[in-house]
Structure 1
Amino acid sequence: MDSTKTKKEQLPWELIEEVLSHVPPRSLVRFRTVCKRWNTLFNDKTFINNHTWTFRFILTTKSKIYSVSINPKIVVRELTLDIPGIQPEIKHLVDCNEFLLCCMDKGASVWNPWLNLSRWIKADVSEPSSRFRIDGIGYDTDNHNNNNNNMIVKERLYTTIGSYRKDHSHEAWWGIHDFASEEWKDLEVEPSQGDKEPFLLTKSGVSLNGNLYWVAFYDENDPLYHLLNFSFVSKRFSDLLCYLPCGMNHPRDALVLRVFRGDRFSLLKQCHVTKKIEIWVTKNMISVEDGNDVVWMNFMTLSIPNFPGLVPNKYSYSQPSYFIQHKRLVMCSCDETGKPWIYVVEENKLISKVHMSSVVDPWPLHCTYFPSLVPVPGGRRKEAELHV
């Protein structure tokens, strides 16, 4: 046969996708350079969601860290967070899109558990009586700086924001930590409503498009709550000029803000008395400049007989974690004994209820997590390992 007429045989694209969905995540990072089509595929959330190594919840106890996969069945696996010289006893867990923040006494680990890459951020607290926490990760985009040491991941200059309070004090110090310089800088905070100080209902910020958002209120009698925004560009707090579609009617109501479809918000509310669950979503993508145009729509209302309360006690840390996939709602919550459960709800029916019996300690911290192939910024040694 004439070799000039021989055509290269190629596998069907569907089969290539299937094979790649079984490849370890670290290898996928190296495979980005194979061709543009592969690189585009690895940015596709549908591909990552169908990957066999994908998980959607992280749970931590005093002694263990777990991942929880949902599709096609619920699978719990142990994870390892390796921080040289530090015993990882996690006190607070924050989902920051590409990364997790694992907050501890002396600082926090910025962690991509899918790639098993992490970076330690030391707390900037000189007084031992202070309570420190890191609230979230954001970024500023610098299109004019060509210094490769500063251009971290898609031209994003990643920054964390943290706060500490002296014991029994309501006054908080705020600071920002730059990933490139590894320095903390004091942040001057001006009240967004004159002399009124906001009360943050949520313990950590929800990260969207580089900014952080909290559910906040200025008066305990406010019937509705605000969205408080921190911009890493202006380094300022401000109110997003909209109210949430609901407030808190009972201390054990569930009220959780999440990112929806990558560019807007969803809000879960469960009434403690009736156990009815409402899911609200914003109609359009969120923009700080267009805060006046935020419109909330009711996305789902669930009234399921004998459905458990998602806040089993009066403490805010027991709020549920959840994500929405098409018309399916998946939630993680602890019961009144501290045992963790996964609930899957669709079309006003409880599809499954699974007790995660392999989680050894009661009252685990938990949060949602959508895996990504974004390396932890600034971790140069481990980033280099990905390309070996």
Structure 2
Amino acid sequence: MVHLEKLPWELIEEILSRVPPKVLVRFRAVSKQWNTLFDDKRFLNNHKMTFRFIIATKRKIYSVSIDPVIVVREIPLDTPGLETLGLKNVVDCNELLLCGKKRGAVVWNPWLGQSRWFEPSLKHPCMCFYGMVYDNKKYKMAASSPAKEDPTLDLWTIYEFSSDLICIESVVSLNGTLYWVSFNKDPLYFLSKFDFSRGLFDRFCDLPCGRNNHDGDTLVLGVFREDRFSLLKQCIVTKKIEIWVTKNKINYENGDDVVWMNFMTLSSHLYYYKPSYFIEDKRLVVCSCDYTTGQAWIYVLRDDKLISKTCLDDVVESWPLHCTFIPSLLSVPRGQREDLQV
């Protein structure tokens, strides 16, 4: 350690950015400075083994790095619960990934290779797993299945597992709450939030875009700067893309003070089918499948211009599942389950 202290801190960071993630976890105890560094998003983004998207096909899972060039790498399927895939959805929970299967789900940190398998409820084995939040020092995961006695009702299952580490984002999750884009007879789209204590949905706030007569418009909610929302809307007819962000930090108790700002408007000749995306500075990076062929593409846009587009069909099968993911050193925690019916 004496020799390390003689090195410039910039050089130490560069050396650590080349160390495998599983080893970095063990280095947290070296010093407070190192421990703080490993929680720094900038360091994680600059790590030589980092990636920004996860893509899952019927037989394989890939990570996709963006900078300085787009690189696709296959992730070995040696993770418990993922030896055979059959995934129904893949959900970005920021520091962890939720992989829903027809029967059960896997909570996974693909950067560390850690996972935990969740068995479905015995009474309702076919469940859809939606997302995961952190609330009151517990991780909670929500899943639902049709109630046998009334298929119009959902049986909601709440899985809990304790940890001292904090996760602040999900699909989309903020402040221990899950949010969905919703609509009813109102002319505006709005956000619904899921109350874990009651197992119920509540209306949270209106979205800045109204409904029109175009079936197939794209609306994707995201997290912006860790404490706000972003929203990608694309019109299926004009192909125009609008990116909206919330002006202030989100107060999970009250959505009345949410203010949306237009962050970016882009003209496009492409339609992004069920895209996943992230925003850095004024760059928009989108992963999407071609609407007709199902081929996976990565698009980079800036200042109303398409900077680059990369087809992933050389290694990725058509119509894969995909989501954003920022690697973290968060270990997968353990815990218990409780059931709620609504």
Task: Compute the displacement of 1:166 (Å).
Answer: 5.6
Secondary structure of residue in 1 paired with 2:315: coil
**What percent of counterpart residues are identical?**
58
Question: What CA distance in whole angstroms lies between the structure 2 residues aligned with 1:163 and 1:212?
Answer: 14
Q: Deviations over 1:2-52 (max 9, x none)?
A: xxxx99961111111111111111111111111111111111111111111
Secondary structure of residue in 2 paired with 1:41: helix
TM-score, scaled to structure 1: 0.79
| Structure 2 letter corresponding to 1:177 | Y
Equivalent of residue 297 in structure 2, options 338, 341, 366: 341
Q: Which moved more, 1:345-354 or 1:118-127?
A: 118-127
Equivalence for 2:225: 261
Question: What CA distance in whole angstroms lies between the structure 2 residues aligned with 1:9 and 1:40?
Answer: 16
TM-score, scaled to structure 2: 0.89
Question: What CA distance in whole angstroms lies between the structure 2 residues aligned with 1:127 and 1:47?
Answer: 43
Secondary structure of residue in 2 paired with 1:17: helix
Unaligned runs of 5+ in 1: 1-5, 142-155, 181-203, 312-318, 380-388
Question: What CA distance in whole angstroms lies between the structure 2 residues aligned with 1:135 and 1:10?
Answer: 49
Q: Say if 2:305 is the partner of 1:308.
A: no
Q: Deviations over 1:62-115 (max 9, x none)?
A: 111011000000000011342269622111111112111111111000001111
Q: Which moved more, 1:162-171 or 1:12-21?
A: 162-171
What value does the CA root-mean-square deviation take over the aligned residues?
Answer: 2.3
Equivalence for 1:297: 261
Equivalence for 1:29: 25
| Structure 2 letter corresponding to 1:40 | T
- Greater percentage in strand: 2
Displacement over 4 Å in runs of 4+: 6-9, 233-236
Unaligned runs of 5+ in 2: 163-169, 336-342
Task: Compute the displacement of 1:367 (Å).
Answer: 0.5
Equivalence for 2:339: none
Task: Compute the displacement of 1:272 (Å).
Answer: 1.0
Question: What CA distance in whole angstroms lies between the structure 1 residues aligned with 2:4 and 2:23?
Answer: 25
How has the CA–CA distance of structure 1 residues 341 and 9 changed in structure 2, closer, same or farther, with 3 Å as cutoff? closer
Equivalent of residue 212 in structure 1, options 174, 178, 192: 178
Equivalent of residue 189 in structure 2, options 215, 225, 230: 225
Equivalence for 2:166: none
Secondary structure of residue in 2 paired with 1:31: helix
**Higher Cα radius of gyration:** 1
Pick 1 or 2: higher relative contact order, CA cutoff 8 A, min separation 6: 2
Q: Say if 2:114 is the partner of 1:117.
A: yes
Secondary structure of residue in 1 paired with 2:251: coil
Equivalent of residue 279 in structure 2, options 321, 324, 327: 324
Question: What CA distance in whole angstroms lies between the structure 2 residues aligned with 1:286 and 1:273?
Answer: 32
Equivalence for 1:371: 327
| Structure 1 letter corresponding to 2:182 | A
CA contact (8 A) 1:248 1:255 kept: no
Q: How many aligned positions are there?
A: 324
Q: Say if 2:56 is the partner of 1:56.
A: no
